[in-house]
Amino acid sequence: MNVEEPADACVRISMWAGPRNISTAMMRAFENRSDTEVLDEPFYAHWLAASHAQHPYRAETLAAYPARFDDVVAWLGEPSRPPAKIRFFKHIAFHIEDDAPIDFLLRQRSFALIRRPEDMVASYARKFDDLSPIIRSYGVARRVHDFLSDHGHAFPAVSSEDVLADPDGVMSSLCAALDIPFDAAMLSWPAGPRDSDGPWAPHWYDAVNASTGFDAPAGDGAPPELTPREQAAADACREDYEFLWARRISAA
């Protein structure tokens, strides 16, 4: 990959996902590597401060994480803790503004994690009325793609459906695309919470804490039934989702 690596030679990987994806399971997979440390949603406090959103564990997140954008970027650039050779950042894409400077990504390797918008919307609507974060997440991911492409950098995409259907094959392909060695330890992990989990984890991470790997997708794969408002939100993601879907990597 054509990446301007930082002076400390630590590989930094940013994953850009929307809410209600398998982003935390992906974080578990990377953290289970012996050479990797992870950072859970580093821009969350920045978004909470800017939006004034009243999310669970808001105060705890603002107390634990930097709220200024530049301070978050500096945090991402900190050296890894030995023996980690990789720092993995799980980003929820709507946590940054549409016009936020993203030149820091030129010193990282990035990829998108995508999921069928109907499924994301159906899941998110059970928690929140405002569905714009899903739409914005796809918009930010598309902007990251366009920015990196303009600078000659790759931005591979993987779909959660593909990962769940063939974890070994797709994770192997993802590692190859990121130019890091595949580690079979990424396919399973011990159940339970992690010290690296964000302060909001007690509210959101019950399912992933019970997991020990990438679970097979449930149901028959049919799209969920949505209200007209929910369908409109899914439709608003369509162009960016299909753009990234057409560029997704498949199993090795």
Q: What is the pLDDT of residues 56-73, one digit of tens each?
A: 999 999 999 999 999 999
Query: Helix, strand or coil for residue 37?
Result: strand
Is 0.75 topped by the overall pTM?
yes
CA 154 to chain centre: 16
List the chain domain ranges: 11-245
pLDDT for residue 82: 85
Task: Name which CATH class applies to 11-245.
Answer: alpha beta
Lowest mean pLDDT among 5-9, 88-92, 113-117, 241-245: 5-9
Helices assigned H by DSSP within 53-166: 58-64, 69-76, 117-125, 132-150, 160-165
CA distance readout (Å), 245 to 36, 53, 238: 27, 30, 10
The 8 Å CB, 24+ separation contacts for 186-194 are 186/29, 186/30, 186/32, 186/33, 187/29, 187/213, 187/214, 188/32, 188/212, 188/213, 189/28, 189/29, 189/31, 189/32, 189/213, 194/28, 194/31
Neighbours of 172 (CB within 10 A): 19
